[in-house]
Structure 1
Amino acid sequence: MSKTARDPEATQVPARPARPGRAAWLLGPALVAGVAYLDPGNVASNMTAGARFGYLLVWVVVLGNAMAWLIQYLSAKLGIVTGRSLAETLGDRIRNPWARRLYWLQAELVAMATDIAEVIGGAVALWLLFGVPLPIGGLATGAVSIGLLFVQQRRGARSFEFVIIGLLALIALGFTYGVFAAPPDAGGVVSGLVPRFEGTESVLLAASILGATIMPHAIYAHSALARDRFTAPGARPEDRAAGVTRVLRATRWDVTIALVIAGTVNLCILLLAAANLAGVPGTDSLEGAYAALKTGLGVGVATLFAVGLLASGLASTAVGAYAGAEIMQGLLRVRVPLLVRRLVTLVPAIVILAAGVDPTWALVLSQVVLSFGIPFALIPLVRLTARRDVLGAHRNRWWTTVAGAIAAVLLVALNALLLWLVLTGV
């Protein structure tokens, strides 16, 4: 048991006057992890849901975002208090080598599904903007992600955060502008807050939205990002000296800001499609949506949409690769060179692009795969953060644990319903 877990005050320093704006410098990790909630898989799932079902699944986006707040805060808290990521903690606690390897395998498959979504999204954006062939665009997206990861390795967590937050601003601009140019129907939005489905396909899209909203790799990544920023040997002295209680307080704001941004953008994507693309042939694909936006709302809206998609692919693939490396190192205690890992995980996405598979449908299916990986990350997270021997006095209150358990049950139930509908052909 770590000293921090036994004595939560061990990392704190005597109180001293805070410099103006000093609390703002504690923000950042959640904004980086929040990029995972705005990856191309989110775009494809929300655009497809809006184009096919109008405002029907608005409630899924809102519910997913509310659950995501709690989940991401618990992940960050684990990293801050223990100084270890979720993957590292599980790697220590899963004693059986084969059980640990099997757990790593499912987590790795989820990380690869994430890579597929993000690389395909970046490739589609490059094709829409510049006519770059999809396989070449996928390679270019992967190359940029390697550059972003080198920034994290060479310049530290703070520099990486600045770059990703800059891309986050582009994502927000690109995906929200269209809603202001063509506002949705207020009555339709309100009706979409009533939970319901319309057939198997709507359940599939709901699972896809939740898989894209509550992403397993974001759960693993946030604990590692918080660790690297506040407790790792390479962290800035000011951040390491901030104290656990103060950092946790700032983290609640960090997660709130990140999820407000992510939730708003995701909702805007669905509303844009519901208001302007519902019933229009071909608009349930990214390419068709781009063409319809260009025709209906003008070149400016369509171009900003494509720019947002490109920024989404570039930022999220870097965060996804970071999470994948952390999963392997934490669970298998194996550190693979960054370039080697990035090249290996690029292969499935490039194969899909070269084979001519519909990129949008591949993105949606990748998010369904992610939804099945959620319980394997979420259930251990809720259990670990409720334990005194792990977080000491910072363990969850009982109502936090209950809320986390309810979220886990809802997600598992939705996935079970999805599986039953698909297998029975209902």
Structure 2
Amino acid sequence: MSLTSKPERTWWSRLGRLGPTIIVAAVVLGPGSIVNASRVGCEFGYALLWVVPLAGLLMMGMTVAAMTIGVLDRQTPCQKIAVHFGRPAAWLVGLSLLVAITLFQASNNNAMLMAWDGLMPESNVSVVSPWKAVLGLLLFNVLVIGILLAGKTGLYRRLETGMTLLVGVMLVAFGASMWAASPSLSGIAGGLVPQLPEVSGPTSNATISWLGIAALFATTFSVAGAFFQTYQVREKGWDASELRTGVLDAVVGIGALAAMTMILFITSAAALHGRVDVSELTSATAVASQMEPLFGKWASIIFSVGVFAGAVSSFVVNALIGGVVFVDAIGKPSEFDSAAVRRATVAVLLVGFAIAALASLSGMNLVKFIVVAQSLTVLAFPILAIVLLWHLWSLRSHRISKTLYVSVVAGTAVVFVLSFRTLWSLLH
């Protein structure tokens, strides 16, 4: 079946239709979600669990909106912006998303280092110098780039298959961790009631606590991931007749993302809160080692396999998002297999690696780096959300549901508040 053909109504074809939302879930459920859910759960217990399903609901609305735009309009968001406001305005959109994606990519690279530490025997970790670790990371990036450039066609189809497999690995790894932690059902129920725990302590610690909360929200409600949906459904060749089924697909895919983030959060709240000071969570090994009383010697391996799968699953797709949208913003063909997209994707991979390498060689705390990098992505989200809202409104002649408009407006308002609050925390 070609990408432009209409899928048959079979169980297998319906499973295949989840490809776009599985890719969104894979890129969003990267190391940022894994590390932040663990850190916030450790610090606040179950109190902020409600943030995850709320962010998931907003993500569903924004994803459906992007899907609607992708199938109803012949123009991509950047193309439409260029026509109505000029090419420089499209550059602004592309650069905003590129900044967010580069920060995500730097986090992915550092998470690979964290996972590698967790998978190595403790006696060998200390003998691996930062330079050797960075060299290994460079070789991994070169391998990914080689695979990316070797295949001339069929990139999207290969990504779908690989991401589905890695999401399954994460589900098994983190599901086993939650089962071993024996979480409190009453604690989970109480955590689903909206509440705002007090963030106290020294200014620097309070700032990191807030950034962790903002990053937790941003890595579940990723406007960049939703924005990319407009390009994915076009690549798949979907049309307006498939929108209703597409909504169900989005609910299932994003629901799986939120569920796995909640699994991580619940595990950390049950295993670490009140037992471990959040300042001690400096690496994947440190996080996993605190779980050893519950999980035994396999704690580090189970957790690190999940982190590794999360990093790999979002590694290529995350860079591809930046490549596709940036190329579209500058007016070049944005088909996934185009040479321009591949070159831009390689550039994102290399810049993300360079930032991560500098952070690692400087001795920076990798967990804090990921928390700050992920929280900073929300600064670019308001522009992307406004573009999606404006583009959706331009298609109002298609009788789009008022509920969808309300959902996107709510999501846009939330990212503006998060962006302002994050900037305030960084400046004070």
TM-score exceeds 0.5:
yes
Q: CA deviation at 1:372?
A: 1.6
Task: Please say which of residues 221-230 and 161-170 is displaced more in the overlay.
Answer: 221-230
Equivalent-residue separation in structure 2 for 1:104 and 1:142 (angstroms) = 23
Distance 1:85 1:148, change over 3 A: farther
User: What residue number does 2:350 align with?
Assistant: 343
Equivalent-residue separation in structure 1 for 2:313 and 2:47 (angstroms) = 29
Distance 1:154 1:257, change over 3 A: same
Equivalent-residue separation in structure 1 for 2:10 and 2:60 (angstroms) = 28
User: What residue number does 1:260 align with?
Assistant: 255
User: What residue number does 1:198 align with?
Assistant: 198
| Contact 1:134–1:354, Cα closer than 8 Å, also in 2 | no
| Contact 2:67–2:233, Cα closer than 8 Å, also in 1 | yes
Equivalent-residue separation in structure 2 for 1:226 and 1:301 (angstroms) = 39
Residue 126 of structure 1 aligns with an amino acid whose one-letter code is: W
Q: CA deviation at 1:70?
A: 0.8
| Contact 2:281–2:367, Cα closer than 8 Å, also in 1 | no
Task: Please say which of residues 412-421 and 178-187 is displaced more in the overlay.
Answer: 412-421
Q: CA deviation at 1:92?
A: 3.8
Residue 104 of structure 2 aligns with an amino acid whose one-letter code is: T
Equivalent-residue separation in structure 2 for 1:23 and 1:135 (angstroms) = 42
| Contact 1:122–1:309, Cα closer than 8 Å, also in 2 | yes
Matches within 5 A, 1:120-159: 120-130=110-120, 131=125, 133-146=132-145, 149-150=148-149, 153-159=152-158
| Contact 1:127–1:134, Cα closer than 8 Å, also in 2 | no
Residues 142-200 of structure 1, C-alpha deviation per residue, up to 9 Å, x if partnerless?
A: 23543564587532422220111111111111222111111211222222222213124
Distance 1:350 1:166, change over 3 A: same
Residue 191 of structure 1 aligns with an amino acid whose one-letter code is: G
What secondary structure is seen at the aligned counterpart in 2 of 1:184?
coil
Matches within 5 A, 1:206-245: 206-230=213-237, 243-245=239-241
Q: Are residue 107 (structure 1) and residue 89 (structure 2) matched?
A: no
Equivalent-residue separation in structure 1 for 2:262 and 2:356 (angstroms) = 27
Residue 186 of structure 1 aligns with an amino acid whose one-letter code is: L
Equivalent-residue separation in structure 1 for 2:171 and 2:43 (angstroms) = 23
Match of 2:47 among 32, 52, 56: 56
User: What residue number does 2:62 align with?
Assistant: 71
Equivalent-residue separation in structure 2 for 1:12 and 1:340 (angstroms) = 32
User: What residue number does 1:7 align with?
Assistant: none
Q: Are residue 332 (structure 1) and residue 330 (structure 2) matched?
A: yes
Distance 1:275 1:341, change over 3 A: closer
User: What residue number does 1:177 align with?
Assistant: 176
What RMSD, in angstroms, separates the aligned Cα atoms of the two structures?
A: 2.6
- Structure 1 gaps of 5+ residues are 1-10, 232-242
| Contact 1:211–1:368, Cα closer than 8 Å, also in 2 | yes
Equivalent-residue separation in structure 2 for 1:153 and 1:111 (angstroms) = 24
Equivalent-residue separation in structure 1 for 2:136 and 2:153 (angstroms) = 26
Equivalent-residue separation in structure 1 for 2:417 and 2:8 (angstroms) = 49
What secondary structure is seen at the aligned counterpart in 1 of 2:46?
coil
User: What residue number does 1:299 align with?
Assistant: 297
Equivalent-residue separation in structure 2 for 1:164 and 1:38 (angstroms) = 11
Q: CA deviation at 1:263?
A: 0.8
Task: Please say which of residues 265-274 and 408-417 is displaced more in the overlay.
Answer: 408-417
User: What residue number does 1:6 align with?
Assistant: none
Equivalent-residue separation in structure 2 for 1:85 and 1:185 (angstroms) = 46
Equivalent-residue separation in structure 2 for 1:381 and 1:264 (angstroms) = 25
Equivalent-residue separation in structure 2 for 1:51 and 1:190 (angstroms) = 17
User: What residue number does 2:335 align with?
Assistant: none
Equivalent-residue separation in structure 2 for 1:370 and 1:417 (angstroms) = 13
Residue 195 of structure 2 aligns with an amino acid whose one-letter code is: P
Q: Are residue 270 (structure 1) and residue 269 (structure 2) matched?
A: no
Q: CA deviation at 1:113?
A: 0.5
Distance 1:87 1:127, change over 3 A: farther
User: What residue number does 1:410 align with?
Assistant: 414
Number of aligned residue pairs: give it. 396
| Contact 1:117–1:362, Cα closer than 8 Å, also in 2 | yes
Q: CA deviation at 1:270?
A: 1.1
Equivalent-residue separation in structure 1 for 2:114 and 2:78 (angstroms) = 32
Q: What TM-score do the two structures reach when normalised by structure 2?
A: 0.84
Distance 1:17 1:103, change over 3 A: closer
Task: Please say which of residues 26-35 and 328-337 is displaced more in the overlay.
Answer: 328-337
Residues 60-102 of structure 1, C-alpha deviation per residue, up to 9 Å, x if partnerless?
A: 11211111111112112222222554344434443152x4433
Q: CA deviation at 1:121?
A: 1.0
Residues 210-257 of structure 1, C-alpha deviation per residue, up to 9 Å, x if partnerless?
A: 1211223312322222211116xxxxxxxxxxx4212x2232222122
Identity of paired residues, percent?
A: 20
Q: CA deviation at 1:319?
A: 0.9
| Contact 1:87–1:330, Cα closer than 8 Å, also in 2 | yes
- Structure 2 gaps of 5+ residues are 200-205, 333-339
| Contact 1:128–1:306, Cα closer than 8 Å, also in 2 | yes
Equivalent-residue separation in structure 2 for 1:17 and 1:416 (angstroms) = 46
| Contact 2:119–2:300, Cα closer than 8 Å, also in 1 | no
Q: CA deviation at 1:140?
A: 4.2
Equivalent-residue separation in structure 1 for 2:19 and 2:31 (angstroms) = 21
Equivalent-residue separation in structure 2 for 1:177 and 1:84 (angstroms) = 44
| Contact 2:104–2:373, Cα closer than 8 Å, also in 1 | yes
Match of 1:359 among 360, 366, 372: 366
Match of 2:394 among 384, 387, 390: 387
Equivalent-residue separation in structure 2 for 1:346 and 1:271 (angstroms) = 31
Q: CA deviation at 1:51?
A: 1.1
